[in-house]
Structure 1
Amino acid sequence: MSVAIGDEFKQSPDGVPFRDLNGNGVMDPYEDPRRPVQERVEDLIGRLSLEEKAGLMFHTMASATESGSLDDDAPRAGRSGAAELVGDKLINHINVHFLPEPRLAAKWVNELQRRAADTPHGIPVTLSTDPRHSFAENWGASFTAIHFSAWPEPLGMAAIGDEELVREFAGIARKEYTAVGIRAALHPTIDLATEPRWARQYGTFGQDAGLVSRLALAYLDGFEGEALDGGSVACMAKHFPGGGPQLNGEDAHFPYGREQVYPGGMFDYHLEPFRRAISRGVSAIMPYYGMPMGLELDGEPVEEVGFGYNRQIIQGLLREKLGYTGVVCTDWGLVTESRLHGRQLPPRAWGVEHLSVEDRVLKIIDAGCDQLGGEECPEVVVDLVRQGRVSEERIDESVRRLLSVKFQLGLFDDPYVDESMAAQRTALPEFVHAGTRAQARSVTLLKNSAAHGGGAVSAPRPILPLRPGTRVFSREVSPEALALAGLKRAVNAEGADVAIVRVSAPFDFRDQYMLESSFHAGSLEFDAETIKTVGWLAEAVPVVVVAHLDRPAVLTPLEPHSAAIAAVYGASDAAVLQALTGAVRPEGRLPFQLPRSEASVIASRPDVPGDVEDALYECGYGMEL
């Protein structure tokens, strides 16, 4: 429940409250909350200028201010501030990045909505976000949970495999989003994790299309409800038609990761989660950057251009064959270059790099897309229409879809949020507890042997669960978490009963392009120093390796030195120890294969699930505690 804080709130002569968004003192049909959505949409379309229509077709980025005041906005180089986007460029779909604490976030959102109410027809802003309920900080894909409850990454949800848990998470996330005015989710990511090196796997539900489909539907249930309404968060499922089969596992954000390949002929397998989401109903779909290589559909070669530019994929497959009638929004930055923190990223215009900005926009619209993600050049659309290269009727098709979602969400009737209650509706103790418990449940036990090691006495029982009072040596786990779990901190390995080593899946650090350092790509093999450290500890004490898997890792060299191995997918120290002590039963099962070697990964086919031969651990593996 929000509060009516704008001066545009009026009452009709017959006592109906409404927002006088065009300031004419009359409740026009699009302002009448009693009328059907489509009737309101058609009335508004007939009133809009071409500039207003073009503004609706852009979905770009902005950050809230630390103070919560629009007046303190300091836009980064080459990009407009939020007030300018909404007030001058008439763009009213904003992907928000930085958010201050909830009360100030709500204040910023309300000021932005008041700015939108001053535009010619008062079209409200739809605030969207990438996932921000877990542990991965990547400004191109996700944010760390700071002011919201923290949960495992979607891979962890997949490890548990419980649709009701996913529904519970999505319902809590919806409440926290709406408390600060976020009404659209740039997720779920329903790609399949079939290429072990791909950097985006942490945001997926794993490699199995059936499991991904089931969890995706539960996710949509929790965020959107049976149908979009004033309490919903509209979802954007991505990345159509499945972004997992990347050549060499490289990510399509970057020029070296343009190609998407199907050597195993599994294109339809990657489509399955999207078929299910479309049948269920989802408000928006995002195509991926990838450029299909050597793909044929219905006997016809598919143009080798990025999916957002690809008419065969969007208009032909998604619209006509699969019957999708909702919003299609491109991934971010297909048309112009991006800059952030001193780094540049070229336009992701894969296969059409030679086209001008105008021709790229034209090709995207002709492909069947409704919105350009991450761009802020509505004047290009206006010029294309005035030059006769795009009809206004075609623009109206997209505007109709985009406005329908805004009306369904109730934004035209009241887009404001209660600033005084925002903090009381986010990170509630019960939300935080549920998230921490889910983290612990998602822990996947891969090995649990008797204690061993040159300096340790072999134990007749498995090393886990850890008993109260166990002396633990760990450089990574906090002393506070150990004490909370009833364990004792040992200052060195020789004085410990067990060592816990937390490691993350390896990757090659890259930092040439914007965002590149946040994408964990390249080799899955651990460096020599990590292997040496675990081996050295194992000579003195039984070692429990806790491996954070944002993608698979080659655990082979660590396995002989480990008394126990547990995989996690975003879990705090407290949650890990709840699982290792058995306070919360770890019930995770691997959502993908863990390869025995890098060579086996290189030999596998990117589009085929479970294609690594002689895996160290198979998808679905997990031990009972």
Structure 2
Amino acid sequence: MREYEDPTRPVDERVDDLLGRMTLEEKAGQLFQHMITSGPLDESDAVFGLPSAKEYVLGKHMTHWNLLGVPGDAREIAEWHNRLQALCHETRLGIPATIATDPRHGFTDNPGTALLSGPFSQWPETLGLAATRDVALMEQHADIARQEYLAVGLRTALHPQVDLATEPRWARANGTFGEDATLTGQMGAAYVRGFQGPVFGADSVSTMTKHFPGGGPQKDGEDPHFAYGREQVYPGGRFAEHLEPFKALLAAGTRQMMPYYGMPVGLEGIPEVGFGFNKPVLDLLRDDLGFDGIICTDWGLVTDAEAFGQPFPARAWGVEHLSVEDRVALILDAGGDQLGGEACPEVVVSLVQQGRITQERVDASVRRLLREKFLLGLFDERRYVDVDAAAAIVGSDEFRAAGVSAQAAAVTVLTNDGILPLAPGLRIYAEGFEGTVHDPADADVAILRLQAPYEQRGPGFESFFHAGSLDFPAAEIERVNAISAQVPTILDVYLDRPAILTPLVEGAAAVVVNFGAGTGPLLDALRGAARGRLPFDLPRSMAAVEASREDVPFDTADPLFRFGHGLTV
């Protein structure tokens, strides 16, 4: 038995022993985390344009991946995980795989940010958990997610997202806890505790908090996945306020940190380059805030790619002119440990051979990454998972019931003329689910389920990002108000961003908003289970949004409903 394989040895000794046995190529492979799907290990993925697992492991010496897609059941994920671990086990050093994932417990289906729940228990989105104001519920959710992840071998959560949603148009608000720094810090810390447990170890899921130093202040609310949204601005001078939630999560023990794509504009002493390339920003994290965990860049900073049949340039904002080698060198010089969404370890090998990056610099990052694997038990008892246990744990009746209850609790009642709580036996005309009558004229009440409005930004991958105006189209306003005039109407609006509800509120008998709720939980909420409170202001008009400052919370003039508003019924 080699020393690093001995579970009785101290972790740091095991790390040093393994590091001393690794070639430069094997070390370089650890510095990359790309996407993978749960198909056959010897087949590439044509849909996402990904190499096979064997090419990753045997050709590139990689051992970190972000699992894409939504496999049909837990058994399928667990069996695939074990096959992948066996492939890694058979390599010269047997370094185990670390599988990460974007959130999998909500309603969002955006392959760039989150995935449908599939076999996992389904909960409200993060905004909804914030709306409950229930720290214990937040920790329960994270603990259940931890158990489900652990059962199938998912060991890194590419979340939580603690950006402050200070720009109402931003497409990523759905994954945040809203625009209040204190609430975000409290809920985010509970999230970390639930995923990592009281002691970080073999029963933990490592949390990668994002997006340092706060991704909310996007110019005009556009998203930096795309070149037109690359600028992050601070007209109100609130850079420091966006750091506050990260401080709370560092205190809670988050293990990893992801800098954002955004390119800060107009900040003294900070270059106008994306945060993953930005040494003063990563020095702030390391030196001022004392973080010694793993820094992993957001996905795809270095190489151009293709997504959903469309060209997808690297998000190398501010350094578009640099070569791939220069970009990788800049990330490592800035203090990054791992490149997300990339698979080019040969570039690191070349940089070391050229003398541009030292072996010692590579070793520092590899040591952090290996130590995490040892602490997670991946070299020992947690290398493989129990397939039968996975099938029983993931999506269990108990876990699903907890998620359903949380969906109902997060529903937030904005107005109510007395129609709520909903009485039994009413004839319901419904849009968004099956009612008891098919014509508003025959109904005692109408329930209309609406989606917060957005503007289509482009085809393919762009289509998943809801951006632009928060106004409902005039024709939709006219249609909804016509129904409200005909029958007492309850409007239920799914808020993945704030919406301008001003033209709809007066005519409705009640207005509620949800943050991910199935039909059953919604009806439970309307019967009295709703207890949510808004996690952000709801602006009165787009004019107020356009006049507000991107980095300043609660900055739209005279909001229609304020942060914390929510009625009991």
Cα deviation, 1:348-394, whole Å, max 9, x if unaligned, reads 00000000000000000000000000000000000000010000000
Cα deviation, 1:281-323, whole Å, max 9, x if unaligned, reads 2110000000010012xxxx21000000000000x20111111
* 2:48 and 2:308 in contact (8 A); partners too: no
**Letter in structure 1 aligned against 2:536:** F
- Aligned position for 1:456: none
Matched, 1:378 2:357: no
**Letter in structure 1 aligned against 2:446:** A
- Aligned position for 2:316: 349
CA distance in 2, matches of 1:268, 1:83: 45
CA distance in 1, matches of 2:70, 2:354: 40
**Cα drift, residue 70 of structure 1:** 2.4
**Letter in structure 1 aligned against 2:332:** I
**Letter in structure 2 aligned against 1:82:** A
- Aligned position for 2:503: 557
- Aligned position for 2:434: 478
CA distance in 2, matches of 1:199, 1:169: 24
Out of 40, 54, 62, the position equivalent to 2:28 is 54
Secondary structure class of the residue paired with 2:60? coil
- Aligned position for 1:454: none
* 2:104 and 2:114 in contact (8 A); partners too: yes
Out of 514, 535, 547, the position equivalent to 2:481 is 535
- Aligned position for 1:92: 63
* 1:63 and 1:99 in contact (8 A); partners too: no
- The structure with the larger Rg is 1
**Cα drift, residue 420 of structure 1:** 2.3
Matched, 1:437 2:405: yes
**Match runs of 1:160-175 below 5 Å:** 160-175=132-147
CA distance in 1, matches of 2:112, 2:46: 17
**Letter in structure 1 aligned against 2:224:** A
**Cα drift, residue 535 of structure 1:** 1.3
**Letter in structure 2 aligned against 1:396:** D
* 2:43 and 2:51 in contact (8 A); partners too: no
* 1:179 and 1:417 in contact (8 A); partners too: yes
Is there any run of 5+ residues in structure 2 with no aligned partner, and where? none
**Cα drift, residue 226 of structure 1:** 2.2
- Aligned position for 2:447: 500
Secondary structure class of the residue paired with 1:539? helix
Secondary structure class of the residue paired with 2:373? helix
**Letter in structure 2 aligned against 1:506:** P
Out of 193, 196, 200, the position equivalent to 2:168 is 196
Out of 301, 307, 324, the position equivalent to 2:275 is 307
**Letter in structure 1 aligned against 2:473:** D
**Letter in structure 2 aligned against 1:424:** A
Question: Aligned-pair RMSD on alpha carbons?
Answer: 1.1
TM-score by length of 2: 0.98
**Cα drift, residue 196 of structure 1:** 0.3
Out of 513, 538, 544, the position equivalent to 2:490 is 544
CA distance in 2, matches of 1:245, 1:497: 45
CA distance in 1, matches of 2:305, 2:137: 37
**Cα drift, residue 102 of structure 1:** 1.0
- Aligned position for 1:22: none
Matched, 1:418 2:386: yes
**Cα drift, residue 342 of structure 1:** 0.8
**Match runs of 1:504-515 below 5 Å:** 504-512=451-459, 514-515=460-461
Cα 1:72/1:394, change in 2 over 3 Å: closer
How many residue pairs match? The answer is: 567
Cα deviation, 1:114-164, whole Å, max 9, x if unaligned, reads 110122211100000000101000000000111000000010011001110
Cα deviation, 1:215-272, whole Å, max 9, x if unaligned, reads 1111011101123211111010000000000000001110000110111111111000
CA distance in 2, matches of 1:212, 1:612: 20
* 1:477 and 1:500 in contact (8 A); partners too: no
- Aligned position for 1:10: none
**Cα drift, residue 74 of structure 1:** 3.4
- Aligned position for 1:185: 157
- Aligned position for 2:199: 227
CA distance in 2, matches of 1:86, 1:102: 24
**Letter in structure 1 aligned against 2:53:** A
| Higher mean C-alpha deviation, range 217-226 or range 415-424 | 415-424
- Aligned position for 1:261: 233
CA distance in 1, matches of 2:261, 2:272: 12
* 1:201 and 1:551 in contact (8 A); partners too: yes
- Aligned position for 2:37: 63
CA distance in 1, matches of 2:67, 2:19: 26
Matched, 1:590 2:534: yes
Which 4+ stretches in 1 moved above 4 angstroms? 75-78
CA distance in 2, matches of 1:539, 1:318: 55
CA distance in 2, matches of 1:49, 1:312: 31
**Cα drift, residue 344 of structure 1:** 1.9
**Letter in structure 2 aligned against 1:508:** E
Matched, 1:615 2:562: no
CA distance in 1, matches of 2:389, 2:44: 24
- Aligned position for 2:543: 599
Secondary structure class of the residue paired with 2:431? coil
**Match runs of 1:210-225 below 5 Å:** 210-225=182-197
* 1:64 and 1:73 in contact (8 A); partners too: no
CA distance in 1, matches of 2:103, 2:70: 13
CA distance in 2, matches of 1:575, 1:104: 29
Secondary structure class of the residue paired with 2:284? helix
- Aligned position for 1:457: none
**Cα drift, residue 71 of structure 1:** 4.3
Is there any run of 5+ residues in structure 1 with no aligned partner, and where? 1-26, 450-461, 480-488
Secondary structure class of the residue paired with 1:438? helix
Secondary structure class of the residue paired with 2:446? strand
**Cα drift, residue 510 of structure 1:** 2.2
- Aligned position for 2:520: 574
**Cα drift, residue 77 of structure 1:** 6.6
CA distance in 2, matches of 1:139, 1:528: 31
Out of 270, 288, 292, the position equivalent to 1:321 is 288
CA distance in 1, matches of 2:311, 2:404: 37
